[in-house]
Structure formats: C-alpha cells, structure tokens
Amino acid sequence: MQRFDDEVIRNEKMFWTKLHYIRSNPVEAGLVGSPEKYKYSSARNYINNDHSVIKVDTSFAGIEIK
C-alpha cells in the first residue's frame, strides 16, 4: 500500500497549496499549535526569521516565500 505520491509542481498556485499542506502537517498531527512552532519547519525561517535549524535556499523559480 502506497502512502504518498510524487507530483510535479506546475504553477505558483499549486506551489502555495502544497507548501501550506506540508507546513500544516505538524499542526494537524497535534504536535504544535502553529507551523512556525515546529522545530523542523521552514515556516520558522520565514515567520520568525529563525535560521538556526534549517537553511532554506530561496533562490528557486523566482517565487518569494512568506
């Protein structure tokens, strides 16, 4: 039984949809109250300007992540 699929991100709307889904997983699992509270989430980089755990390369595709 396959638990996940790979999918090509075809446009910016799809990018944001997938990013929101991924960031929401720790919240949905009850691990934290918000995405930026999860230690291993890139949301910490963008919301808290915390780069202590994950170094994020934002130079891809010309998309500004917030």
CA distances from 43 to 4, 6, 9, 49 (A): 22, 22, 19, 9
29-44 per-position pLDDT tens digit: 999 999 989 988 888 8
pLDDT for the residue 60: 63
Domain segments of the chain: what residues?
20-52
- What residues in the chain have per-residue pLDDT under 70? 58-66
pLDDT for the residue 66: 56
pLDDT for the residue 52: 80
**pTM passes above 0.85:** no
